[in-house]
Every structure is written in C-alpha cells, then in structure tokens.
C-alpha cells in the first residue's frame, strides 16, 4: 500500500513538472515570439518588388550611351530565365525548396556534416526564402537575434508568396560578384550574354557564386570557380535534375569569360554627363541612381563620332603647324563643338573636350571665353533694329577714346582704314573700328539688352570693348544666340532629352520636336526680317570674308569667325537651313594658339570637316525669305542703287531701301567713352 502511494506521488510530481515545464516552454515561446516579432519589417512590399536598378541613357537611334546605378541590376521575369539556371540555383542553395515552409532542418544538419568533413564551408543551411529575407528585409549582421527574426519572416513569407514569387525575388536580388546583382547582369558580366542565352555549364557556374562571390569569381579565381561549378553539377545529378549525359557534356563545355562591352564613356561622355546632371537636379540623385529610368536623348551617334574626329584632326593640325613644345603635353590644346538641329531644337552632337578621361570639364557648356569678332553679329543685328540697313555707310577712320589718363585707339586686324564702308562690308571683313562706332551710336545698354533677348545669359562688359567680343561667353549660349538668326528670329531652348520613362514605363518627361509641339515653345524675340538680313549678311562673310573656308560645303552657309587678342581663342559659328554648329579652340589657361591662328584658320576647318561629313547626303536647301523683304541691285562698295561694275543684289526690310545713302556718325557722349584697357580683342 505504501509502495502504491509512493508511485502515485512520484507520478503526480512528474505530471506536474511536465505540465509546468510545458507551460513555461509555451509561455517562453510566446513571449520570445512576441519579443522577436516586434517591429518586424512588413512583407507586403515584396508583392511590389522595386529594388535599385540601372538607369539607362539612349542615343537617338536607341543605342545605350550611358548606365548609372547604385546597384547594377536588371529585374527580369522568371520566364526569361532558362529552366536549368533556376534548377542549378535550387540544387546548390536549397534542394528541398519546394517541400519546406521556410526553414529546412534536414538541410541545416546536412550542411553541418558536409562542412565538418570538408574542413571548409561548401554548403549553407539557409533556405532561399531565408536568403530573400536577409537581403531584402533585414540587415546582414550575424547575430542570434537576427537569425530568429529571419526564421519568423521566412515562415510568414512562405504563407504570403508562392514559391515562384520567392524565386523571382531571389534570382533578381542576389549579389553575384563584380558589382553584379541578379542573374541578368551576372550573365552580362561573366559571359557577355543575355540571360536567355546561358547554357547549362554557365548556369551552374553562376549558381556556385552566392556562397562567396569573391572567392569563386571566375575572373579572379577560375580554378575555384570550376570546382564550385562541378559541385553544382553534382548536386543537379544527385537530385535527378540532369542526366549523366548532360552532366558530362556540361563538364566538358568550355567557359569563355567575356564581359559585355560597356565602354559607353567613349561614345559621348560630355553629353551624357550633362544629361545626368540635369536629371539629378530635376528628379533627385537617388531617383537617378536607383529608379531604373530610361532616358531617350537627341544625340545622333554618327554626328557625335564625326564631331569627335573633326575636333581631334583640327587640333592635331594646329599642333603640327605650330610645333608645340613639351609644355603642351601637360597643357594640351583643347576644343569644343556643339550642333543643334534648327527645325527640331534637338542637340545632335556635343564634344566638350579632347579627352574626357583626362578632364571632365565641359568646354562646350561650362567654359566662358572671350569671343572676339564672333560677338559682332549681335552688334550688327542690334543696328538693323535701330535704323541701319546693310547699305548704311560708316566711316572707317581712326578714333580715340580718352578717360583721364587712359587712352584707347581701336585698330583693325590688318592695321588699315578703309574710309566710307557699308555695314555689309564691315561685317564681311570684320572691321573693328566700324563695329565700335556702330556700338557707340546705338548704345551699350541697348546692345546688352538685345544680347540677353537672344539668349546670352553671361554678364557683358559695360563698355565699348563689348563690341569686339571682350565679354566671356560659353560656346553653347553663343551658338544658341546665332540660332535665333537661323530660326527666323525665334529663340528656343535646345533640347537634349526626348523623353524619360520610369521603371514601369510611365512617361515622366517628354520633349517632342519644336515643329510638332502644340503651342509654340519658341519665342519670337526679333523680327523674321531682321533675322533674314543677318543670315544674308553672314552668308557674305562666308562668300567673301573671313569665313571663306566654309564655301567648300557647296551649299548655302552663314557664319562668323572670332579671334581674341594674342590668338588665345578661335571661334567659328555657322549654319545651314538645317543645322547650326559652333566650334571653339584654345587652351584652358590663357595662352596663345600661335601666330595667325585665327578663327578662320584654327576653328573653321574643324567646322568644315564636321559639316561636310554629316551634310554630304542631305538635300541642298536655300534659306527661306520671309515676307517684308525687298531686293535691289546696289553698288557693293557704296551701297547706292546703281548699275555699277560691282553690282550686288542687296536686301532690305520693306520700306527701307535708301535712295540716298546716309553717313552714320557716332555721338560724342562721354557715356560711351568708358572702356577697360585690360580687355582687347584682335577682331578676326
């Protein structure tokens, strides 16, 4: 009896102990779960997976000219991935993926045993679901707390997503070395292929990388990569995924490592950098680097290549001609070229320097240089809107400006004076003294406002030296100002981007050609008649004046050269009815190009080579004459209506044909005597 009571007591104690322990375990488990499950990241966003992806910039032809990213990744659907690629990753990382519910206890045990026997980590125990949790939802820290949170989230994800959705996340998210995220970019990085083109051997190699991408990199450690590939193929064979025949065939397949060529920086680096800066400023740096934007630009790669070649050839010719010393190897001769399509407003080519790898400074946009006589068309356009005509006579004679002990005597490039000279001849032959007298007559403030109206945004000198191009402007803004003459008096903002799409294909920004936009994006800033008169005058600069080299195009061309004092800067800006192109040549420091390296000699040949290449197959067009223009034959020397031995078909605004020429004499107001003796230009 006593024995029976003792057994009963022991049983009661045991049952109580078990119940208390079970309760404690349950309570502890619940408390632990509540503790570790607190503040877990939401898994709902996994349905709308949007990781950082590559932003791509395209040329007008749809060719990639730039890629930017925080993580180099392209997200692709599962059905674009070869079946054997998916199977290789499952065999290597999680063979019971379709059986477990987030954690695979047998895999953990198996990995522990294999790693102990091999003496190194050859197999991991984490499931693919856990790896998704670790890479997307949690930090990569190694701690007991994170592992528990990872397990909880893995179970949750398995209930929330299908196995295929989990694989989609995993294969697009995983880091596979050399900056590659996801299998699509890894296929490009290691084999130069689209992911669909991968064979079994290549897929097995990629599937071996997640364990240690740097250790098994085929580019740095091909032998280790091969061992890992063999391991993956063995796992696929063991799991019955591939046959022995497929196994041996894959082992014998050569692995040709060939990264896809991404030398985008060679194509149009200055243009791409300018586009990048614009998008970052408008939409933010994070959006640019992470949101996978598709940026379609206006750049024509054929134009761009011809521009690069023309600039390099022109600079080499100057170097050869001037026999530059070794000093110029450390300070190379530089140049820039920019080309707009007049009808569309599109920027077709932009070369901001000789070598982007050496200098990222964009001389087409950022550089501000004295323009010399390239500024004169703005003076002459101002004069046409203040009562002058192409036949107006201005006396080319010495003039002296005194301001206290300062004296300024403007000189012509050739040191000669021609006496009474028509406005046309003064611009054609780039006569400095006549230009200064015109500027003195119409007023510096008027010219400044006129230039601003044409699109000049840089500050201008408030003295008569402005007339000879003493102010520093960018090639971009001066070419844009000339475009007003080419575009019938309408100012437009040159367009570099046709459209921008977000990662889902939604249009963020769109800039159709000027000619097809609803409502005019162009502003009529001068009359079509003034614009045409300037074009007609600038055609004469090409036919009879300093821009004579551009005649070789064999089609209507209007343009103007520019040269600054001591031949430090050389310019030529010219246009046809279709295109306008500006060229600048000089050193980044203030240094002479060499004796007689004028705009006509140094810059114009670059313009000619470029325009000849891109215009050779184009239809020859004439400049369109607007209404309100009249033509009459005049004497080319005097501008008077006559049947002289040197007749010229002159054009005038309707109602301004002079029956008797007027001599324009500059006013003698002291306001116009202000000048800066430190600023001077050569006038060519």
Known catalytic residues?
Answer: 93, 373
Across the beta sheet with 419-422, the strand order is: 419-422, 393-396, 663-664
In angstroms, what CA-CA distances link 654 with 373, 384, 629, 631?
29, 13, 5, 9
Give the C-alpha separation, 398 to 98, whole Å.
95
Indicate the DSSP class of residue 418: -
Question: Residue 575 contacts by C-beta under 8 Å, 6 or more apart in sequence?
Answer: 342, 482, 483, 485, 486, 557, 558, 559, 581
Question: Residue 416 contacts by C-beta under 8 Å, 6 or more apart in sequence?
Answer: none
Give the C-alpha separation, 438 to 424, whole Å.
12
The answer to whether residues 444 and 464 touch, using CB atoms and an 8 Å cutoff, is: yes
Phi, psi (5° rounding) for residue 577? -60, -15
Give the containing element (helix H, strand E) for 73: strand 72-73
Give the C-alpha separation, 614 to 617, whole Å.
7
Give the C-alpha separation, 97 to 235, whole Å.
14
- 641, with CB counted inside 10 A (0-12, 13-18, 19+), is middle
How many other CB atoms are there within 10 angstroms of residue 141's CB atom? 8
Cα 143 to its chain centre, rounded Å, is 44
The answer to whether residues 208 and 255 touch, using CB atoms and an 8 Å cutoff, is: no
Spell out a b/e string for 17-43, using b for 16 or more CB atoms within 10 Å of the CB, else e.
eeeeeeeeeeeeeeeeeeebeeeeeeb
Give the containing element (helix H, strand E) for 444: helix 444-454
Question: Residue 203 contacts by C-beta under 8 Å, 6 or more apart in sequence?
Answer: 82, 84, 85, 88
The answer to whether residues 451 and 378 touch, using CB atoms and an 8 Å cutoff, is: yes
For the record, the structure tokens of 627 come out as: 């209404």
Angle at 614 between CA 269 and CA 320, to 5 degrees: 70
Give the C-alpha separation, 646 to 255, whole Å.
78
Residues in the chain: 684
In angstroms, what CA-CA distances link 488 with 117, 132, 513, 527, 542?
83, 61, 17, 7, 19
Question: Residue 347 contacts by C-beta under 8 Å, 6 or more apart in sequence?
Answer: 271, 298, 299, 338, 339, 340, 341, 494, 495, 496
List the one residue out of 386, 662, 428 whose CA is nearest residue 542: 428
The answer to whether residues 504 and 351 touch, using CB atoms and an 8 Å cutoff, is: no
Give the C-alpha separation, 555 to 620, whole Å.
6
* Three-class SS state of 563: strand
């Amino acid at each position: 009896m006593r024995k029976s009571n003792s057994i009963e007591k022991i049983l009661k104690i045991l049952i109580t102990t078990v119940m208390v322990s079970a309760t404690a375990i349950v309570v502890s488990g619940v408390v632990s779960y509540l503790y570790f499950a607190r503040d877990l990241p939401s898994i709902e966003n996994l349905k709308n997976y949007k990781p950082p992806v590559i932003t791509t910039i395209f040329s007008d032809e749809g060719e990639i000219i730039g890629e930017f990213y925080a993580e180099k990744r392209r997200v692709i659907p599962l059905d674009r991935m070869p079946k054997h690629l998916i199977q290789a990753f499952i065999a290597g990382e999680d063979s019971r993926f379709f059986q477990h519910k987030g954690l695979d206890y047998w895999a953990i045990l198996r990995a522990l045993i294999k790693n102990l026997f091999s003496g190194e980590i050859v197999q991991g125990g984490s499931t693919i679901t856990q790896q998704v949790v670790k890479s997307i939802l949690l930090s990569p820290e190694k701690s007991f707390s994170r592992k528990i949170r990872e397990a909880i989230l893995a179970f949750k994800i398995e209930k929330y997503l299908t196995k295929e959705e989990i694989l989609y996340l995993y294969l697009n998210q995983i880091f596979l070395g050399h900056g590659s995220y996801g299998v699509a970019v890894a296929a490009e990085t290691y084999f130069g292929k689209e992911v669909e083109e991968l064979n079994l051997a290549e897929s097995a190699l990629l599937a071996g990388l997640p364990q240690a991408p740097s250790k098994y990199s085929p580019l740095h450690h091909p032998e280790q990569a091969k061992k890992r590939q063999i391991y993956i193929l063995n796992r696929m064979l063991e799991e019955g995924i591939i046959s022995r025949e497929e196994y041996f065939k894959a082992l014998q397949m050569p692995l040709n490592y060939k990264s896809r060529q991404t030398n985008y920086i060679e194509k149009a680096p200055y243009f791409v950098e300018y586009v990048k800066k614009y998008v970052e400023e408008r939409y933010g740096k994070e959006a640019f680097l992470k949101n996978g934007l598709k940026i379609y630009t206006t750049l024509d790669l054929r134009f761009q290549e011809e521009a690069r070649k023309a600039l390099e050839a022109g600079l080499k010719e100057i170097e050869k001609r001037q026999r530059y010393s070794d000093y110029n190897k450390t300070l190379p001769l530089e140049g820039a070229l920019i080309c707009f399509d007049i009808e569309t407003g599109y920027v077709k080519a932009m070369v901001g320097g000789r070598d982007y790898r050496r200098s990222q400074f964009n001389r087409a946009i950022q550089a501000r240089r004295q323009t010399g006589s390239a500024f004169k068309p703005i003076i002459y356009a101002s004069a046409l809107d203040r009562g002058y005509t192409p036949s107006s006579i201005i006396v080319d004679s010495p003039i002296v400006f005194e301001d206290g002990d300062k004296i300024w005597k403007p000189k012509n490039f050739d040191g000669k004076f021609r006496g009474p000279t028509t406005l046309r001849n003064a611009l054609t032959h780039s006569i400095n003294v006549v230009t200064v007298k015109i500027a003195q007559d119409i007023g510096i403030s008027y010219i400044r406002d006129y230039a601003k109206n044409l699109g000049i945004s840089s500050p201008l000198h408030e003295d008569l030296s402005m007339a000879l191009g003493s102010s520093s402007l960018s090639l971009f803004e001066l070419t844009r100002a000339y475009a007003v003459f080419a575009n019938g008096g309408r100012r437009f903002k040159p367009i570099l981007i046709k459209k921008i799409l977000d990662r889902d294909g939604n249009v963020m920004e769109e800039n159709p050609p000027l000619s097809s936009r609803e409502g005019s994006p162009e502003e009529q800033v001068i009359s079509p008649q003034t614009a045409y008169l300037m074009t007609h005058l600038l055609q004469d600069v090409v036919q009879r004046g300093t821009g004579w080299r551009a005649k070789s195009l064999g089609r209507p061309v209007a343009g103007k050269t520019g040269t600054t004092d001591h031949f430090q800067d050389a310019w030529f800006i010219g246009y046809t009815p279709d295109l306008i192109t500006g060229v600048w040549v000089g050193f980044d420091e203030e240094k002479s190009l060499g004796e007689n390296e004028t705009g006509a000699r140094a810059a114009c040949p670059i313009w000619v080579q470029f325009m000849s290449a891109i215009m050779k197959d184009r239809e020859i067009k004439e400049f369109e004459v607007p209404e309100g223009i009249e033509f009459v034959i005049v004497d080319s020397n005097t501008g008077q209506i006559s049947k002289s031995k040197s007749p010229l078909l002159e054009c005038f605004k309707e109602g301004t044909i002079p029956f008797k020429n007027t001599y324009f004499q500059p006013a003698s107001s002291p306001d116009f005597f202000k000048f800066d003796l430190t600023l001077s230009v050569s006038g060519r």
